[in-house]
Amino acid sequence: MCCLCTFIFPSLVQGKKTNEIRSGEIWPDNHGVHINAHGGGVLYYNGRYYWYGENKSDTTSSAMVGIMCYSSSNLSDWKKESVALPVITDDASSDIVKGCIMERPKVIYNKKTKRFVMWFHLELKGKGYAAARSAVAVSDTPEGPFKYIRSERINPRKLPFDMTDEQRAILDTLDANKYKQWWTPMWYEAISKGLFVKRDLQGGQMARDMQLFVDDDGKAYHIYSSEDNLTLQIAELSEDYLSHTGKYIRIAPAGHNEAPAIFKRNGEYWMITSGCTGWEPNEARMFSAPSIWGPWKKHPNPCRGPKSEITFGGQSTYVLPVVGKKDAFIFMADIWCPKHPSNARYIWLPIQFEDGIPYIEWLDSWSLDFFDKKK
């Protein structure tokens, strides 16, 4: 068992019944092998769900294989489809050369171009987490192979569109030389006001943990931890979803949020995030807004019950709307296992609502009819 799983859920039993979802356990694919699609997201297309995620090896979290794709009609039985975007092994100058870092891939379908667009967090081989780039790839079929296009920082030379003249004037006066010492109250205040937005203005904004969201009108948005993981940003994607339009906002400045997962219910946007503690679990956070452009309001931790203060040992990765069921959303999270990355486990739990506010409880075992019983 994975280091974290043994610690958190010592009494897990193997062997699942049909359609059962058992978080924290080994999830065999159609070959009986534990699904290797971490930090992932799910796309519904033409009657099937496609699960994309990071392939993790036994010894390193760097990308040795690439981005995986599995498919299912019932969200319980998963067929291994392909390595949707393989790492490059014969060109050391490629952004996605074997040994780089490819994290949190998400795929969306563009109805106008009829193409599948993948974005993921890319770090260049041997450079740790310094590059903080976003990478994009495209395919004509959900299982790929995806064609790699490019990687980049986001929206160079653009300030958040909702910054007031007054806020811009303050940003102009921020002098990086005055804030060389990190984590002081003064430094936090300067971060809030956009110290790192200004620092990264020419080259573009940093983006690490990320999410994609397609709204009802077909517009797509990229949500990512920016500014050295201190501030979330939401940026609009172009009509073909292959680039950014330059329009973006900042959320929870200096709030240290990672792992954003977003969904929409009754016109309200909800976002669940984590704090920043590397591979260690921490307490989830939740935000809501009446529009994708905010204002985003913070709520208490949506998780309830034992281990809720560490998100049941996991870190959010996606919220999956179940097709054909009203108000049916699955909270997806990863129980990381840094000492044996491929042994990381998945948490899938139903999102429940009380007075319209989402909450999540641990369930050892559940199936999709849980959503029908709740009605």
Helix (H, G, I), strand (E, B) or coil at 193: helix
Positions in 193-232 near ligand DGJ (CB under 6 A): 209
Q: CB count, 10 Å around CB of 200?
A: 20
Which of 62/243 has CB closer to ligand DGJ?
A: 62
**Selected binder of ligand DGJ within 24, 39, 86, 350 (CB under 6 A):** 39
**324 interacts with ligand DGJ by CB under 6 A:** no
Cα 349 from Cα 368, distance rounded (Å): 10
**315 interacts with ligand DGJ by CB under 6 A:** yes
Lookup result for tokens 């949500």: 223
Output b/e per residue, 276-285; b: 16+ Cβ within 10 A.
Answer: beebebbebb
- Helices 165-173, 185-193: crossing angle, 10 deg rounding: 130
Which of 39/53 has CB closer to ligand DGJ?
A: 39
Positions in 103-122 near ligand DGJ (CB under 6 A): 103-104
Report the residue closest to ligand DGJ, judged by CB: 278
**236 interacts with ligand DGJ by CB under 6 A:** no
Phi, psi of 107 (to 5 degrees): -125, 135
Which of 110/257 has CB closer to ligand DGJ?
A: 257
**9 closest CA partner among 20, 24, 21:** 24
Q: CB-hemisphere CA count at 13 Å for 287?
A: 22
Which of 39/350 has CB closer to ligand DGJ?
A: 39
Quote the tokens at residue 322: 């179940």
Which of 288/317 has CB closer to ligand DGJ?
A: 317
**278 interacts with ligand DGJ by CB under 6 A:** yes
Which of 47/278 has CB closer to ligand DGJ?
A: 278
Total residues belonging to the chain: 375
Positions in 242-261 near ligand DGJ (CB under 6 A): 258-259
Number of residues that bind ligand DGJ (CB under 6 A): 9
Which amino acid type is present at position 205? Q
In the complex, the residues that contact ligand DGJ under the rule CB under 6 A are 39, 103-104, 209, 258-259, 278-279, 315
